[in-house]
Amino acid sequence: MKDTILEQEILLLKGLARNDRKASEEIYKQNYNLIQALVVNNNGTADDARDIFQESMVVLFEKARSGTFELNCQIKTYLYSVAKRLWLKKLQQQNRFTEEWNDSGMQVRVDDDIEVHEQKDQEFNLMHQSIQNLGEPCKSLLEAFYFKKKSMQEIAESFGYTNSENAKTQKYKCLMRLKKLFFSQYTKKEP
């Protein structure tokens, strides 16, 4: 019976890694109430619970996609541990933490996972900020290529370059500017 449950959990995790909607919904259905109770019973609101659950799912998704994650507990235990850590951190940042804490006691060590998640989150925000500060036409050109998936010929025509090679050269110069902006503010935390 225990192996069957673990096998089901591993299948859900593999589904999550593939962006399978049913797996995500099943994980949500099985775990959301637990996380909501954790947050609401410890100075949080339903909105806080939704945010914390979403962030916890992102951490689980990143772990599932890593290919190196081995599930040594139930998904419920892992999500609860991540949510608790994230919620404690948020309470401390907002000076709302109290010694009174209602806890179910089920936990696994997730500190490293949270740190990796926070580092990626900071890098994403820094990249977003760098793109916003890039200026035109570089910002639009890179968005056209990377987000809208336009070809170099389409970019050349819409941005007024004589051919796709000139557009490609401009894209390279824009990437170098973006890289310079990003790394001028980037500091990686050492593990």
- Residue 84 included in any domain: yes
What six digits make up the tokens of 72? 């040594």
Q: Do residues 154 and 63 both lie within one domain?
A: no
In a domain, 107, yes or no: no
Question: What CATH code is carried by the domain that includes residue 43?
Answer: 1.10.1740
Same domain assignment for residues 8 and 73? yes
Tell me which residues of the chain have a pLDDT lower than 50. Answer: 1, 191
Do 79 and 161 have their domain in common? Answer: no
Give residue 121's pLDDT: 82
Q: Is position 163 within any domain?
A: yes
- Residue 85 structural domain: 1-99
Residue 31: predicted pLDDT: 95
Tokens of 69: 């994650």
* 109 in any annotated domain: no
pLDDT of residue 118: 82
Q: Looking at residue 99, what is its pLDDT? A: 67
Provide the angle, in degrees to the nearest 10, between the axes of the packed helices 21-40 and 75-93. Answer: 50
- Show the tokens assigned to 114: 């949270």
Q: How far apart, in whole angstroms, are the C-alpha atoms of residue 162 and residue 151? A: 14
Could you say which of 48, 80, 99 is where a domain stops? 99
Alpha helices of the chain — where are they, by DSSP H? 2-17, 21-40, 46-66, 75-93, 111-132, 138-142, 152-159, 164-185
Q: Are residues 61 and 12 in the same domain?
A: yes
pLDDT for the residue 3: 59
| Alpha-carbon radius of gyration of the chain | 22
pLDDT in the model for residue 116: 81
Q: At which of 76, 99, 122 does a domain end?
A: 99
Q: Examine the domain organization and report whether 79 and 28 are in the same domain.
A: yes
Identify whether residues 30 and 78 lie together within a single domain: yes
